[in-house]
Each structure stands twice: as C-alpha cells, then as structure tokens.
Amino acid sequence: MLLRLLRLITPMELAIHLHITGPDARHLLHGLVEGPNLVEKGGNKKYRTYQLHVGSS
C-alpha cells in the first residue's frame, strides 16, 4: 500500500510499514535502487527519500 502512493517515501516510513528497523529499511531500499524500479530523489545518506520509477521501459 505504501508504494502505491507514488510519492517520495523515507526509510522510516518503510520501516514502520514493514515492521522492521530503520537501518534494515535503508539497506533494503539501497538494494532496490540498484534495480530499475526505484530511484533516489533527495536527502543525504541517512535521510534520503525514494520514489518508484514509473516510466516507459
């Protein structure tokens, strides 16, 4: 549900949604950025925000 919002999300929002720790959420998001579906949109290393890449492939 969180990713359906199509807005910027923070690692802490994901952590709360998935019931995991903040560092685990950051690690998960960092791994997903290496794929084609998630992009970093702003912030520094700890407070980065992410967005789904919903473009034509």
DSSP 36: S
Q: Show the DSSP H helices in the chain as ranges.
A: 11-18, 22-33
Print pLDDT tens along the chain (57 aa): 455 556 788 889 889 999 999 999 989 988 888 888 788 888 776 678 888 776 654
- For 52, the 3-state DSSP assignment is strand
What pTM, to 2 d.p., does this model score?
0.69
Q: What is the sign of the dihedral through the CA atoms of 29, 31, 5 and 16? A: negative
Structure tokens at 5: 């919002």
Structure tokens at 54: 């919903």
